[in-house]
């Protein structure tokens, strides 16, 4: 006869013990990072929406007596060669950087997703041709593609957006096509066909709702890439030429004064990095949330 | 196998031809008269404009322009620079070694740092080492190279004076740009290897290996890593393409005389034949690298090899 | 005799995002040397966790031993560090897994993976290890072992890989072999081969086997002792003969009855255990089986029964003695869930189906998939999934279709449903040709023929509510108003035995059996005359399987449905079908009345299939008769009779000439030159 009685022995601290216990604590760290990222993004969006409320000085105000002052409490990011407050210029410059990133992700994403969706869903010869074309586009890396288009079309905000958007199209098309094809092969599509659902119904009610979430993740991370490419174009002098420079241009202007005023190029670059980093962190979180099994970053 | 190679070669040729069309189209079909964008029409006479047009061949019908461009390109003639009449191909070839050295060095840094951090990150999932590696990886892909390059110059050239800030002579000039570009690559590789490793670690065969009594180190470094690296290998092609493109920016930052610099100068000067030539050249390199990666992948991975 | 493995009061917990999950609690078992012990249970019973705990593999899956003792030959397995566990694993105790295809590292050769164990445990040097590996592969019945050593796992079939896995497990001569559902992923005939092999090897290598299975038949064939687990606990432990003779726990009784009533004739209701297996996060109080137990009392709800010694065996039930003595357990229960009266009954007058009426006539049906068509090679080969098949399905009957994987039975089903285009041949439905019908007409016809799928979860759009899933055919084919549709959906839910208010829920909120009920509700929503059930119960647990089969039979009677029931589980097919067709490599080789087929199988393949069913009766233990070999690739089927490569009665004639399907007796068709 055996009775329920759990032996009360002192348990050794095995490896398993150590592995499982602090897990929750560690998760908090990455959650903290995501919250921090959220704050950064919100702050930068606010800068873009109402720079006047945030920037302490006018971005165009040149104070000839305050040329190239190092960072201080009155000028957080120092002043530049013209005596402008670098922090204020960076705050005002956020608008173009964000705009280029967002607009090109939306345009490129929609265009790429449409191509990919059609190609993947229709399949056959159409798919082969489209994908062949995409393959050709892929041979020219994003930034080179954007550079060539921007150079050919001349500097304007719209052209920069278009250049960045077009350079991202092949990537979106490929990913979304793959996603559509994988959803198309799942059993519930056969089930829908067997009850007599037509192609349009299957595409819009069954395939699309189950396929778009990875695209959302890709668009978030793509936003970071677009901001990088957009500011890269500006850095190389192919961006928008305006009175209030965007971050890439700002950085490029400051590069000449590296030995005497490091803050002029360092802070615009930091702004780009913080924005892109935050966007990427949020994209990774989104991916974890959508696809917890394949927890990536 | 031979069949696969020949099919692959054939499609690669098609892709190269396609990118030739693409390059041509980008430059000539987009709005704006290439000649007008090269010179200021108010300062030159119509005769000069006409002769420029004739020199570029833009006065002829489009298909003729394309036909002659392709036939010349196939003979290695990519035209001449508008700025200084220099033939494009020799110009590319002289500037190529500096860029290749940079790409190779940054690829090496990306692979070593990326794989190392990626594996550590996956094995110690959700621990401090993982979080650190993930943040480092994220920084890598989030920093614009023109900024990280400038920071490197600021720290290692201006402040510490260890490496030169510009130039393309000697190995010392290679270090900073290679690190700057390598950081980006490493960011990609860390993420890739970590994901790949995590997927493999959840495969049932890992349980079998443990049930066989294989040491955990061997399970990870001999079995899991090998399985994880094979799919990661396919990304080398994309990565080297991105790094090659990244040289455009980084060579400008470090004033290196490579083809990245050539193209950014050509873009500024609207020197279209040079732009065309370089873009097309990089497309060919990209196709060749991918072809090699793809074929070697088929040899290395027994799963792909079987299905042929 | 001294015990080899002793487990006492073992409790294992897992760290999950939702908190600690107690997967098994208070599990005790002992194994003597040379003994075969079967751990039987349905999904979530904790049988796999128990085996992984013995190997301490749970450490890598966030599992922790929260209490209890485990000893192998006196060596403490609970406190041993991983380093010393490693010297035991693979050497003193080895494991064989369920999915041989994914249990090998795909990028190393079979040989190197076997050598790795031998060398890793310092049993011998590399050369000797290689020789031993070849010997082992030969012993487990792998042809050309030297060649296989150099092959990668992807190049071998599932059956061959499982043999190789067994060879690898035996490499260091373990004292304990743990086999976790070693045949579940394999075909019937291969399963019989592997079980036979395990039995031979057990005495040859002088080891004990802990066999984990959900199949009472396998347990009866293999086990000396059987341990039944339910929801993470041991509920009964007895010798195989004892257990099958007089099960003491109501759960064991239920399991055995749902298996044994399968032998009974069609029409009688299958015994089923009500309800579903509990979720480990929401375990019932007291006895974990009480919500499903017909004998449950207040005491069962409040207090958990300990595993007590009753009549020379162990059972965890407060009333074990009374229940066992009642000896009523085999009497089939007559009452079942009564179907609602207000069901829209279709053709109720046709209680006796007119046998002569054919609903489906299939003639010379072929489905080829092109293979390796390329620009460079002119000749294109193809996989002949279905190759010249003709048969009829009568109105109101259930036609069963059986065969191993690769026989083409599922493809045949999909081609009949016009979900895939036939390469050649005709399918006519109620006198109308479907194969060349205009799409608009075919769309109309779809109302009449619906389908139930193998994977109920996969066959539902995960983002839709259950009500919308069931209502989809209604939205497509009818113009019901929202209110009408809702009431129809609620009615359908009621009919399939679910709560009508659940239409707001999502598929992931249901258990496997409930999902299959939802799938059935969708299939009957339009009052079809024909339903194709493609492996509809194969993925379900035994106790739930019976519920679904009963539901399908009730619906057939009330709605006058015709079924095409595709399955590889012969037992279920026999119970549910009027007539059965047997497929092998794209060909129908035998068609007969269900009872006739089982009592007088004519084709040697059918005979082999029936012989390979493990019998759930240890007293009738017999030599497992397995046919040799494996099903060849449908890309290059053997000449003549496709079965001749594996047939015991094959002659030159069989190799050269393909036998036609002929009527050997009334209503009994066989395609064999030498029918038995």
Question: How does pLDDT run across C538-594, given as a tens digit for each residue?
Answer: 888 887 888 899 999 999 999 999 999 999 888 888 888 999 999 999 999 999 998
Strand, helix or coil at A5? coil
Q: Which is more confident, B303 or C377?
A: B303
How long is chain B? 308
Q: Residue B56's pLDDT band (boundaries 50, 70, 90)?
A: low
C313 touches chain A (CB under 8 A): no
Residue C551: the pLDDT is 92
Strand, helix or coil at C452? strand
pTM of the model: 0.84
Residue C345 has pLDDT above 80, yes or no: no
Q: Quick one: which of A184, A202, A215 has its CA closest to A287?
A: A215
Residue C225: the pLDDT is 93
Residues of B in contact with A228 (CB under 8 A): 142, 144
The CB density around residue C80, as the number of other CB atoms within 10 Å, is 18
Residue C332: the pLDDT is 45
- Give the integer Cα–Cα distance in Å for C605 and A197: 39
C283 touches chain A (CB under 8 A): no
Residue A201: the pLDDT is 93
How long is chain C? 676
A9 belongs to a structural domain: no
Surface-to-core class of residue B274, CB atoms within 10 Å of its CB (0-12 exposed, 13-18 middle, 19+ buried): buried
Q: Which of B26, B244, B264 sits opposite A141 (nearest CB)?
A: B244
Residue C336: the pLDDT is 39
Residue B38 tokens read as 């090269």
Residue B17: the pLDDT is 84
Strand, helix or coil at C391? strand
The CB density around residue C237, as the number of other CB atoms within 10 Å, is 25
Residue C234: the pLDDT is 93
C58 touches chain B (CB under 8 A): no
Q: Quick one: which of C442, C527, C518, C468 has its CA closest to A198?
A: C442
Residue A115: the pLDDT is 94
- The average pLDDT across B91-112 equals 89
Contact: A193, C419; criterion CB under 8 Å? yes
A128 belongs to a structural domain: yes
A196 belongs to a structural domain: yes
- Give the integer Cα–Cα distance in Å for B290 and C295: 69
Q: What is the mean pLDDT of chain B?
A: 82
- Give the integer Cα–Cα distance in Å for C415 and C483: 36
Residues of C in contact with A11 (CB under 8 A): 65, 79
C115 touches chain B (CB under 8 A): no
A214 belongs to a structural domain: yes
| Upper half-sphere CA count for residue B293 (Cβ side, 13 Å) | 19
Residue B57 has pLDDT above 70, yes or no: no
A8 belongs to a structural domain: no
Q: What is the mean pLDDT of chain C?
A: 86
Q: Residue C524's pLDDT band (boundaries 50, 70, 90)?
A: very high
Residue C330: the pLDDT is 57
- How far does A279 lie from chain C, in Å, by closest CA? 26
- Give the integer Cα–Cα distance in Å for C635 and C406: 10
- Give the integer Cα–Cα distance in Å for B38 and B271: 7
Give residue ranges of A with CB < 8 Å to any C CB: 1-7, 11-12, 14-17, 19-20, 23, 186-188, 190-198, 201, 205-206, 209-210
Residue B179: the pLDDT is 92
The CATH number linked to A85 is: 1.10.3720.10
**Residue A267 near residue A87 (C-beta atoms within 8 A):** yes
Residue C247 has pLDDT above 80, yes or no: yes
Q: Quick one: which of C592, C175, C267, C174 has its CA closest to C402?
A: C592
Strand, helix or coil at C648? coil
The CB density around residue A21, as the number of other CB atoms within 10 Å, is 12
Residue C180 has pLDDT above 80, yes or no: yes
CB < 8 Å from B in window 183-242 of A: 224, 228, 231-232, 235-238
Residue A173: the pLDDT is 92
Q: Which of B205, B211, B214 sits opposite C102 (nearest CB)?
A: B205
Residue C49: the pLDDT is 92
For the stretch B122-165, pLDDT in tens is 998 878 888 889 888 999 989 998 888 888 888 888 888 888 87
Residue reference for tokens 């090109």: A104
- How wide is the angle at C-alpha A8 spanned by C-alphas A3 and A14, nearest 5°? 125
ipTM value greater than 0.90: no
Residues of B in contact with C102 (CB under 8 A): 203-205
Q: Tell me, rounded to whole angstroms, the distance of Cα B174 from its chain centroid.
A: 17
A2 belongs to a structural domain: no
A6 belongs to a structural domain: no
Surface-to-core class of residue C562, CB atoms within 10 Å of its CB (0-12 exposed, 13-18 middle, 19+ buried): buried
Q: Which of A132, A151, A231 sits opposite B275 (nearest CB)?
A: A151
Which H or E run includes C563? Answer: strand C562-566
A241 belongs to a structural domain: yes
**Residue B22 near residue A140 (C-beta atoms within 8 A):** yes
- Give the integer Cα–Cα distance in Å for A236 and A248: 8
- Give the integer Cα–Cα distance in Å for C255 and C252: 5
Which residue in B has a C-alpha nearest to residue C172's C-alpha?
A: B212
pLDDT in tens, chain A (297 residues): 333 333 333 333 333 333 444 344 445 777 888 889 999 999 889 888 888 787 777 777 777 777 777 777 777 787 777 778 888 888 888 888 888 899 999 999 999 999 999 999 998 889 988 988 888 888 888 888 888 778 777 778 888 888 889 888 998 998 899 999 999 989 999 999 999 898 999 999 999 989 888 888 888 888 988 888 888 888 888 777 777 788 888 888 888 787 777 887 888 888 889 999 999 988 888 887 776 554 333
Residue A263: the pLDDT is 82
Residue A296: the pLDDT is 35
- Give the integer Cα–Cα distance in Å for C82 and A273: 44
| Upper half-sphere CA count for residue C255 (Cβ side, 13 Å) | 29
CB < 8 Å from B in window 11-30 of A: 22-23, 26-27, 29-30
The domain total for chain A is 1
The parent domain of residue A34 ranges over 20-294
- The average pLDDT across C86-106 equals 91
Q: DSSP string of B143-168? A: S-HHHHHHHHIIIIIIIS--S-SS-S
Q: Which of C67, C309, C522 sits opposite A195 (nearest CB)?
A: C522
Contact: C120, B210; criterion CB under 8 Å? no
Contact: A195, C306; criterion CB under 8 Å? no
Residue C450: the pLDDT is 94
The domains found in chain C, sorted by start residue, are 101-173 (no CATH), 247-343 (no CATH), 397-421+540-676 (3.40.50.300), 436-528 (3.40.50.300)
Residue reference for tokens 């430059």: B27
């Amino acid at each position: 006869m055996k009775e329920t009685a759990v032996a009360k022995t002192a348990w050794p601290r095995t490896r398993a013990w150590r592995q499982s216990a602090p897990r929750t604590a560690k998760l908090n760290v990455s959650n903290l990072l995501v919250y921090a990222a959220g704050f950064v993004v919100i702050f930068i969006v606010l800068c873009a929406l109402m720079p006047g409320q945030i920037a302490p000085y006018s971005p165009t105000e040149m104070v000839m007596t305050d040329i190239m002052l190092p960072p201080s409490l009155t000028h957080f990011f120092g002043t530049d060669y013209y005596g402008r407050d670098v922090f204020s210029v960076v705050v005002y410059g956020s608008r173009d950087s964000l705009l280029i990133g967002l607009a090109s992700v939306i345009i490129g994403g929609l265009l790429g997703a449409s191509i990919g969706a059609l190609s993947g869903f229709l399949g056959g010869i159409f798919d082969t041709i489209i994908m062949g074309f995409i393959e050709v586009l892929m041979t020219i890396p994003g930034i080179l593609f954007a550079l060539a288009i921007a150079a050919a079309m001349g500097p304007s905000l719209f052209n920069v957006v278009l250049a960045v958007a077009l350079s991202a199209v092949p990537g979106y098309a490929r990913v979304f096509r793959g996603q559509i094809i994988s959803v198309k092969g799942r059993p519930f599509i056969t089930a829908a066909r067997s009850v007599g659902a037509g192609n349009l119904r299957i595409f819009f009610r069954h395939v699309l709702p189950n396929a778009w979430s990875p695209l959302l993740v890709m668009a978030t991370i793509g936003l970071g890439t677009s901001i990088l490419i957009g500011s890269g174009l500006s850095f190389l002098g192919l961006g928008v030429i305006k009175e209030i420079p965007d971050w890439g241009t700002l950085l490029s202007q400051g590069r000449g004064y590296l030995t005497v005023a490091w803050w002029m190029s360092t802070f615009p670059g930091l702004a780009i990095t913080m924005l892109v980093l935050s966007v990427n962190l949020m994209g990774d979180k989104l991916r974890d949330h959508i696809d917890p099994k394949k927890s990536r970053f | 196998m031979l069949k696969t190679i020949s099919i692959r070669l054939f499609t690669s040729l098609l892709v190269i031809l396609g990118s030739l069309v693409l390059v041509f189209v980008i430059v000539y079909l987009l709005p704006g008269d290439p000649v007008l964008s090269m010179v200021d029409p108010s300062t030159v006479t119509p005769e000069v404009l006409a002769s420029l047009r004739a020199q570029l061949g833009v006065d002829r019908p489009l298909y003729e322009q394309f036909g002659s461009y392709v036939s010349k390109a196939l003979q290695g003639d990519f035209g001449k620079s508008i700025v200084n009449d220099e033939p494009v191909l020799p110009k590319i070839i002289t500037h190529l070694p500096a860029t290749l050295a940079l790409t190779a060095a940054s690829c090496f840094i990306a692979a070593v740092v990326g794989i190392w951090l990626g594996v550590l990150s996956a094995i110690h999932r959700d621990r401090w080492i993982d979080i650190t590696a993930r943040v480092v990886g994220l920084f890598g892909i989030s920093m614009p190279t023109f900024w990280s390059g400038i920071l490197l110059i600021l720290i290692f050239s201006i402040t510490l004076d260890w490496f030169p800030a510009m130039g393309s002579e000697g190995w010392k000039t290679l270090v900073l740009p290679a690190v700057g570009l390598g950081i980006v690559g490493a960011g990609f590789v860390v993420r890739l290897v970590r994901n790949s490793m995590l997927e493999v670690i959840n495969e049932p065969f890992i349980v079998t290996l443990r049930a066989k009594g294989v040491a955990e180190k061997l399970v990870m470094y001999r079995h899991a890593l090998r399985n994880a690296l094979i799919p990661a290998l396919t990304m080398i092609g994309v990565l080297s393409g991105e790094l090659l493109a990244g040289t455009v920016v980084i060579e400008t930052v470090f004033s290196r005389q490579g083809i990245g610099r050539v193209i950014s100068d050509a873009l500024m000067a609207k020197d279209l034949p040079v732009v065309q030539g370089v873009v097309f050249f990089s497309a060919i390199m990209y196709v060749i690298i991918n072809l090699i990666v793809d074929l070697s992948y088929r040899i290395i991975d027994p799963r792909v090899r079987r299905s042929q | 005799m001294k015990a080899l493995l002793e487990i006492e009061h073992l409790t294992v917990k897992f760290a999950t995002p939702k908190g600690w999950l107690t997967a098994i609690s208070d599990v005790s078992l002992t194994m003597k040397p040379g003994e075969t012990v079967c751990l039987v249970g349905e999904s979530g019973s904790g049988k796999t966790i128990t085996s992984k705990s013995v190997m301490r593999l749970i450490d890598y899956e966030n599992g922790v031993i929260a209490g209890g003792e485990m000893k192998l030959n006196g060596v403490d397995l609970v406190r041993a560090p991983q380093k010393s566990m490693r010297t035991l694993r693979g050497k003193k105790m080895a494991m064989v897994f369920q999915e041989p295809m994914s249990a090998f590292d795909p990028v190393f050769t079979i040989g190197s993976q076997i050598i790795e164990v031998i060398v890793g445990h310092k049993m011998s040097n590399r050369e000797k290890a290689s020789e031993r590996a070849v010997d082992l592969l030969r012993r487990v019945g792998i042809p050309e072992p030297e060649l296989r050593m150099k092959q990668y796992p992807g190049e071998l079939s599932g059956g061959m890989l499982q043999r190789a896995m067994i060879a690898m497990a035996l490499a260091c001569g373990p004292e304990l072999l743990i086999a976790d559902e070693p045949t579940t992923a394999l075909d019937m005939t291969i399963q019989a081969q592997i079980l036979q092999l395990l039995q031979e090897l057990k005495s040859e290598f002088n080891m004990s086997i802990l066999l984990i299975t959900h199949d009472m038949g396998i347990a009866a064939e293999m086990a000396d002792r059987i341990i039944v687990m339910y929801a993470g606990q041991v509920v009964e432990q007895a010798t195989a003969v004892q257990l099958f003779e007089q099960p003491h726990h109501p759960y064991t009784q239920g399991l055995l009855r749902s298996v044994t009533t399968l032998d009974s004739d069609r029409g009688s209701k299958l015994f089923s255990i009500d309800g579903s297996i509990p979720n480990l996060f929401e375990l019932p109080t007291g006895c974990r089986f009480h919500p499903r137990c017909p004998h449950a009392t207040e005491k069962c709800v409040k207090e958990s029964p300990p595993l007590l010694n009753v009549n020379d065996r162990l059972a965890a039930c407060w009333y074990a003695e009374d229940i066992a003595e009642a000896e009523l357990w085999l009497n089939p229960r007559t009452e079942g869930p009564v179907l609602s009266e207000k069901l829209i009954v279709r053709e109720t007058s046709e209680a006796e189906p007119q046998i002569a009426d054919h609903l489906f006539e299939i003639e010379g049906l072929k489905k080829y998939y092109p293979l390796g068509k390329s620009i460079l090679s002119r000749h294109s080969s193809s996989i002949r999934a279905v190759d010249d098949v003709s048969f009829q399905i009568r109105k109101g009957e259930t036609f069963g279709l059986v065969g191993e994987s690769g026989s083409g039975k599922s493809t045949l089903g999909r081609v009949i449903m016009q979900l895939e285009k036939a390469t050649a041949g005709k399918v006519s439905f109620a006198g109308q040709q479907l194969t060349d019908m205009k799409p608009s007409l075919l769309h109309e016809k779809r109302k009449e023929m619906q389908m139930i799928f193998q994977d109920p979860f996969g066959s539902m759009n995960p983002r839709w509510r259950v009500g919308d899933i069931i209502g989809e055919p209604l939205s497509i084919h009818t113009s019901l108003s929202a209110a009408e549709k809702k009431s129809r959906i609620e009615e359908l839910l009621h009919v399939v035995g679910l709560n009508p208010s659940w239409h707001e829920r999502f598929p992931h909120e249901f258990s496997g059996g409930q999902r299959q009920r939802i799938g059935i509700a969708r299939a009957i929503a339009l009052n079809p005359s024909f339903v194709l059930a493609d492996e509809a119960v194969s993925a379900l647990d035994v106790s739930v399987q019976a519920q679904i089969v009963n539901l399908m039979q009730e619906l057939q009677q009330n709605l006058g449905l015709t079924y095409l029931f595709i399955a590889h589980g012969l037992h279920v097919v026999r119970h549910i079908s009027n007539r059965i067709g047997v497929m092998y490599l794209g060909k129908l080789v035998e068609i007969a009345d269900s009872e006739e087929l089982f009592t007088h199988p004519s084709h040697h393949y059918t005979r082999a299939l029936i012989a390979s069913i493990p019998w759930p009766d240890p007293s009738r233990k017999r030599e497992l008769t397995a046919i040799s070999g494996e099903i060849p690739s449908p890309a290059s089927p053997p000449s003549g009779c496709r079965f001749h490569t594996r047939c015991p009665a094959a002659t030159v004639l069989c190799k050269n000439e393909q036998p036609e399907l002929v009527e050997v007796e009334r209503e009994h068709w066989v395609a064999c030159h030498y029918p038995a």
